[in-house]
Structure 1
Amino acid sequence: FFFLKKKNGIRYLVCDWISDVFSPDLAAGLSTVATPVPGGWRLRGEKTAITAAVHAKAALVYAREPGTTRSAGISCFLVPLNQPQVKASHTAAMGCSPLGWGSIAFDDVFVPADHLVGEYGRGLAEALGHFDFSRPALGLMCLGAAQASLDEACAYAVDRQAFGRPLAGFQGVSFALAEHATLMEAARWMCYRALWLRQTAQPHTAQAAMSKWWPPVVAKDTIEAAMKVFGNLGYSAEMPLQQRFRDVMAYLVADGTAEIQKRVIATVLMGRVAAT
C-alpha cells in the first residue's frame, strides 16, 4: 500500500493487490473482469489477502478484458472504494493486525478511462516488475524484527544468572545466538545486493526471489531462538517476541511462498522448462 497525495495536499491511503479469491496463479487464475464500456470499464470480481483493505480510500485493481488468457489483456486500474458497488471485509489474522488485512469485492463498478494506470494490457508485467523491489524489501523488514529480538536475547543472556553464571557463559546459548547472527548478516546482504542490482539497472529477478524466500525463514528462526533464551517469558504475551514471530510468519506467504520463489529462481537458471 502507499499514500497518494492530491493537489489539495491531502494524502489518501491506497491499497493494491493482484490475487483473486481461490486463484493463486496470477496469470491464468486472474478472473476479475474489466469490461469496456463507453467512457471506461466496469469491474466485477473479488480480491483477497489485501493489506489495508478496510482502511484504504482507493485501490489499484488488476483485471482482465473478457476473452483474454494468461497475462494478455490484464490491466491496472485506480478504483475509488467509496462506491456502493464496492464491499470491503476484514479478515482476522494471527499477526500484522494493524494492517487491516481483508478482501474487496467489485460488483459492476464503473472505472473512468483516465483511471487506467500504466499501459493497457500490460498490467501484470508491470506488477511483476514491482515484485523485484518489494521482495527484498519485505526480507529486510523481517530481518529488522529479528535483529531487535536477537539484541534483546543477547542482553538478557548477559544479565540472567543460571547455575552461578550468566546464560551467555553457556555455549548452548551463546553459540546458537552467534549462528543466528551469522545467518542474519548473510541474509541482510543478500537483500542489499538485490536492491543494488535494481538501482544499477542490472537483472535481479532471481536475487529478489532469493531475498524473499530465505531471509524471512532466517528471521523466523532467529525470533524463535530468542524466545527460547527468555524461557517462559519468551512465550508470554507481555513480551514483543510472540508478536514479532506471528508477524514474520505472514511474510512466509506474502508476495509469494518459498516454493514460488524457488520456481522463479529455477526459471532464471534453466529457462521456461523449469516452470512447467
Structure 2
Amino acid sequence: MKTLILLICLATGFETFAQTSSELFDKTKMEYKGSKIEQAKRLLRNVKMWGVIENKEPNIDLAFQNLLNSAPEISKEQLKNYLQRASITNNEICGNIDLPVSHILVNGNNVYAKYFVIHDMSTPAYENNFPENINSSTWSKNNLTSWNWPKGSEPSHSIVTRTGKSKTLNDFGLGWRATKFEKKIGVSCRGLFLHIELLQPRIYPPGNAVSAPVAPTPGFTDAQYQRLALLYICASIRKGEWLVPAFHVNIDEGLKDGHDDPQNFELDKFTSEVLRLIALIKTS
C-alpha cells in the first residue's frame, strides 16, 4: 500500500524543469528527452514531505555520470562468480542474469527496459513513534515471509527489507506496472520500467494512516543501499547497458494522486555503493 499524495511542484526559474517528467516523455522513442545523464538529473530530483519535488538538479557523482555514458566493464561471468561467493540466489535478484530484461514493442522492434525505478513502501504507518528495532531482524516486517501478495497484484519486481534482504516478486524479464504514469501511457509502456520497493515505515500525524508523511531519518539503511546497488547492477548487466535510475515521485510528477517516495533517500550513498560494488565484482 502506498501513500497517495498530490504532488506539489515548486515554481522556480529553472527552464530545464519547466515541464513535468510526463510531458517530456517521447512516445515515439518511448523514453524521456535528453541524454541518459539529463534524464537521470530530472528523474533523481529529491522529494520532500508531502511529495514536494525540489525543482533543481540533484548532485550526481561525476564518476556515476561517466558510468551511465559507458558500457558495463564487468562481465556476466564476473557477476556470477560474485553472486556464488556471496551465496546470493536468483530469487534474491529477480531472476537469472543470463536472461534478458523485460521489453516493449516499438514499431515491431523489441526495446528493452530503460529505467530502474526506486520506491519506498510507505508502510506500516505508526501514530506516534517508530519501533526502536526497525533496522533489526527482530522487527517482524524485516521478515520476508511477512510480505505476500496474490499473484498478479505484487507492487513491484522486488522488495528490500531494512536488513538488506531482498525477495523477487516478479522476474526482471516480466513487464510490470508500478506507477500511475505507466497506466496513463498504456500497455505499450509495460516492460520499460523495473521497480524496486525499499521497506520504509511512516508516522502520522500530520496526515492519517493512509497519508502518513513522516519517514525515518536516515530514510534507509546501509544494507538497503548495498542490496539496491546489487539489483541495479544485475538488471543493467542483464540488459548489457546501464539503466537510468529514477525516483517514483518523478515518474508520476504532475499526475493526480501521485506519490511522495522515496523519502529521505541519500543519492550519494546509492551511487557510491554502485561504484564500490562494481570494483569488487571486477576482482571476482
Which structure is higher in strand share?
1
Give the structure, 1 or 2, with the largest relative contact order (CA under 8 Å, sep 6 or more): 2
Q: TM-score, normalised by structure 1?
A: 0.26
Q: TM-score, normalised by structure 2?
A: 0.25
Which structure is higher in helix share?
1
Larger radius of gyration: 1
